[in-house]
Amino acid sequence: MPNVVVVGTQWGDEGKGKIVHLITDRFDIVARYQGGHNAGHTVIIQDDKYILHLIPSGILHPEKVCVIGNGVVVDPVALEKELEMLKDFEVKDRLFISDRSHLIMPYHRAVEAAEENRLAEGRIGTTSRGIGPCYEDKVGRRGIRLGDLSYPELFRAKLETNLALKNEILIHLYKAEPLDAEQIYVSYMKLAPQILPLVTDTAEYLNGAIRSGKSILFEGAQGTLLDLDHGTYPYVTSSNATAGGACIGTGVGPGAIDGTIGIAKAYTTRVGEGPFPTELTGQIGEHLQSKGAEFGASTGRPRRCGWFDAVVVRYACLINNLDTLVVTKLDVLDELDEIKICVGYEREGKILDRFPMQMSVLEEVTPTYETYPGWKTDTSKIQDYQDLPKAARDYLDRISKLIKTDISIISIGPERDETIILEESPRLQKLVH
């Protein structure tokens, strides 16, 4: 059975939650490999909406097992709320969390919020939920891991050592109030009995599952352009959102991965600060934002909207070695008279031959566009690819040619059945047969 990574190919918010939920029934296990509760995967089942932040969206399938890997940073308070939301799904024997996942602590949130406030105009635009500072402590080898909750004295010692440093920073650098170690210790020990029964060595579990013939769907958060190494640095997340992060974030070796499915919107969005070459700030951008309900599932922040950027998605295809692409929210374009695709970047009279590393360069590029007629037809109820308006099929075909990757699934609405699946796609059959 194949083991497949699902990855976002833009700046996140591509609709990975729906697609993971859609194809989960073809896998045995869904494993989340990076990020924190700043991610928001929205799944709509009939009239019920579920917004998942830490737990993989596959948990909504009652017979499936879900794993939160070691690459994820966990806020126990957020996890408890999510478990409460899912209490009717009996997740106890279907959810496992890595004992090596790092814990987000109250001082992570305090430091991040203070730093964003200090930076003012130069801020990154984080959610201030402590994700970045938690990863900083992980890399700095002073992090506290989920398994440490099993050893209260060790947990307390690490907490007091870390908080002494963080309080110095809060008081003297940010002029903020210090935090109390005893209060934090008591609150985390109170949460421990609810969380620790779910904690295990998930690398051992996942590799054992593969040896027994089970298949795994690896789910990331955010998107390729927010990857710490390959994204629009420094306007990125603090972990590896690209397909390579699946191995690091779960302990499953690359030889066990059989392929990668990319997700892209039929246009482009991004949240927070940073350059965005195809951004639309006028009426069309407002239309995309309104019709596409482009507001963060986790934060409610409005997303910036722009035309489809083939330069970005082609770069993502390269970095992730995509087998096939899913295009979401095609229906959001239904009412437009004309639609544009960015096919290249120009700067100082020259066409760039690759996606730029330097953000000052990306800020100065001028997108080169191709313009296509709109189809002016409601696509939300169409079930067969050939029934799409010719203009819509031409648009998708052009995207496929530009990114040199086939398109095998098209989402035309938030509901599960508002999806066109090209079952005849050989690349899709290879991964989700």
User: In sequence order, which residues have a C-beta less than 8 Å from that of residue 420 and are 6 or more positions away?
Assistant: 382, 383, 384, 385, 388, 409, 410, 411, 412
To which H or E segment does residue 19 belong?
helix 16-23
Tell me which of 37, 41, 53, 230 is the catalytic residue: 41
Among 133, 125, 120, which Cα is nearest to 169's?
133
How far apart are alpha carbons 167 and 21 in whole angstroms?
A: 42
Of the candidates 78, 139, 124, the residue with the CA atom closest to the CA atom of residue 104 = 78
> Does the active-site annotation cover 433?
no
Separation CA 21–CA 27 (nearest Å): 11
Measured distance CA(76)–CA(193) in Å, rounded: 11
Question: H or E stretch including 390?
Answer: helix 390-403
- Six token digits for residue 247: 């191995």
Could you tell me which of 298, 225, 421, 264 has the C-alpha nearest to residue 42?
298
Per the annotation, the verdict on 102 as an active-site residue is: no
Give the tokens for residue 129: 């939920």
* Distance in angstroms (rounded) separating the CA atoms of residues 8 and 349: 31
Annotated active-site residue in 13, 148, 309, 331: 13
* d(C-alpha 105, C-alpha 196), whole Å: 17
Pairing of strands 216-219, 29-32: parallel
Task: Enumerate the active-site residues.
Answer: 13, 41
